[in-house]
Amino acid sequence: MSLEELTSYNWGIMTPEFIIVGVAALLTLIDLFMPKKQDRRILGWIAIMAVGAAMVSLAGLLGAAPESILEDTFRLDSFGKAFKFLLLAGGALVLFLAVSYKADEGMEEYRGEFYYLFLTGLLGGMIMTSSGDLITLFIGLELLSISSYILAGIRKHNLQSNESAMKYVINGSIATAITLFGLSYVYGLTGTTNLLAIAGTLQALADAQHAYLLGLAFLMIFVGLAFKLAAAPFHMWAPDVYQGAPTPVTAFLSVVSKTAGFVIVARILISVFAVAATEGPGSIPILYNMQDYIAVVAGATMIIGNVVALKQSNIKRMFAYSSIAHAGYILVAFTTLSSNFFYSVWFYLLAYLFMNLGAFAIIQLVEAKTGSTRIADFAGLYRRSPILAVVMGILLIALAGFPGTAGFIGKLNIFIGAFMVQEPHYVLASVMIATTVVSYFYYFGIMTQMFFRPAADDSKFTKIPVGIVVVLIITVAASILLGVFPDIAIDFVNENFNQFADFLQ
């Protein structure tokens, strides 16, 4: 690759990534030269500004035509832009939680990496949204994963945090291995790692034996990535990791990491398997042939997530299962692949981002106050702080998917999508409804605690950190706004992303 070629690329389309990587490097340096025992919170605020700047630069790129650089390894299409917004918004809100986090047990205020590891993780996710190549996809995935492993174990004197990191590394490595194995099949059959080139080769695939091998490859890639989504039965790491990790990290895992997981699944599934023919050109694509496998995983994920959540007494474990359940709902959209697919996934992740991060903000507050994460700690919250209780109440009914909230519209899109295709997925849709009903029980369990149980102590919540206040205002406003005026999101997508038509170009 000559110098002229390098300079001829339109590097402008990577501006958001450059900002994040630049600030992450800068923070590392500042961290190095700061006095040893000085509060590093300022680094967190700089990181927030960096994410903000990245969002602004991304907004500047909204009108740009789809373009790819670096020999098609990095492409900025409407899918990339849309999901990058989600990742950046989630990253910013998580950082607000992080700067409000009360450090303890080996994670004193002067541990700067707590802040910039979020940035590197975020960068990994962003690379994935814009990858046109299996290798860069994988690099992005690993960058996100490794950052998350360290973050989970950052409270190094805390036993649970250690356990959390350890389990995450082991399970994550297993997942990586399986994914890579599957990807190697794809490479072996096509001789290239470039997604568009792969698609081109597979479209003309005439050999049924190859299609058979590709089916196996599909299963392995899907299962490997299902770890990242925490889809059943590959979800079992999630509750332990979520419980042990510091709360901002848990929030990061449940939102940013999960969004990135869906991004990579969409990238590989749609660009490779949705075009690979089963029996020669023009025949049914492999992905449609494998729908039932995704359906089974989606159904199992919804059932296991919601049902096991009923039995939890720890709020973070409960939210781990709740996040598993939400992944199940989104997988329903992946199964049905309606014409509304991209939009319904995007909207659901958007709604979920706000509802879930808002809830985690409250969890973090209550945890800081009581020192534990039992659901029972929410008892009498209404008496101690009516505002917090009502805010949490709104977020919970949004998570439960009540009309008038963003969660409802998100579920409705996916639900209707299940009927918009030629062969409607009645069973999956009914499972979705039934498990949603089950979810009311555990969400309302928290409500009961907050509103009807007496408080163990009556101390008020004073001095709520500003980061938390920001998160709560944004998330509650968004949860309601998107529920009452879903057209805001529809118009935004229609105006800027042209129904994601350039995904496969």
Binding residues for other proteins (CB under 8 A): 166-167, 170-171, 174, 178, 211-212, 215-216, 219-220, 223, 227, 232-234, 236-237, 239-240, 278, 289-290, 292-293, 296, 303-304, 307-312, 386-387, 390, 409, 412, 416, 438, 485-487, 490
d(CA 141, CA 139): 5
Identify which of residues 234 and 500 has a Cβ nearer to other proteins in the complex. 234
Non-local (6+) Cβ contacts of 230 within 8 A are: 237, 238, 258, 320, 323, 324, 327
Identify which of residues 91 and 305 has a Cβ nearer to other proteins in the complex. 305
Phi and psi at 71, nearest 5°, equal 50, 50
Q: How far is the CB of 312 from other proteins (least distance, A)?
A: 8
Q: How far is the CB of 310 from other proteins (least distance, A)?
A: 5
d(CA 283, CA 31): 57
Q: Is 440 left (phi over 0), alpha (psi -120 to 50) or beta?
A: alpha
Q: How far is the CB of 176 from other proteins (least distance, A)?
A: 13
Residue 411 burial (CB count, 10 A): 23
CA dihedral 194, 197, 199, 205 (to 10 degrees): -130
d(CA 201, CA 293): 24
Q: What is the 3-state secondary structure (H, E, C) of 181-244?
A: HHHHHHHHHHCCCEHHHHHHHHHCCCCHHHHHHHHHHHHHHHHHHHHHHCCCCCCCHHHHHHHH
Identify which of residues 100 and 306 has a Cβ nearer to other proteins in the complex. 306
Contact 206, 282 (CB under 8 A): no
Identify which of residues 387 and 456 has a Cβ nearer to other proteins in the complex. 387
d(CA 252, CA 261): 12
Identify which of residues 91 and 182 has a Cβ nearer to other proteins in the complex. 182
- Exposed, middle or buried: residue 122 (CB in 10 Å: 0-12, 13-18, 19+)? buried
Q: How far is the CB of 18 from other proteins (least distance, A)?
A: 37
Identify which of residues 408 and 503 has a Cβ nearer to other proteins in the complex. 408
Identify which of residues 216 and 477 has a Cβ nearer to other proteins in the complex. 216
Identify which of residues 127 and 304 has a Cβ nearer to other proteins in the complex. 304
Q: How far is the CB of 330 from other proteins (least distance, A)?
A: 19
d(CA 331, CA 223): 13
Identify which of residues 60 and 233 has a Cβ nearer to other proteins in the complex. 233
One-letter amino acid at 37 equals K
Q: How far is the CB of 273 from other proteins (least distance, A)?
A: 13
One-letter amino acid at 498 equals N
Q: How far is the CB of 293 from other proteins (least distance, A)?
A: 6
Q: How far is the CB of 137 from other proteins (least distance, A)?
A: 20
Identify which of residues 83 and 319 has a Cβ nearer to other proteins in the complex. 319
Q: How far is the CB of 496 from other proteins (least distance, A)?
A: 18
Phi and psi at 261, nearest 5°, equal -60, -45
Rounded to whole angstroms, what are the CA distances from 246 to 106, 228, 240, 438, 467?
12, 19, 12, 28, 16
Q: How far is the CB of 48 from other proteins (least distance, A)?
A: 28
d(CA 481, CA 487): 10
Q: How far is the CB of 274 from other proteins (least distance, A)?
A: 17
Identify which of residues 53 and 412 has a Cβ nearer to other proteins in the complex. 412
Beta bridge partners of 68: 75
One-letter amino acid at 204 equals A
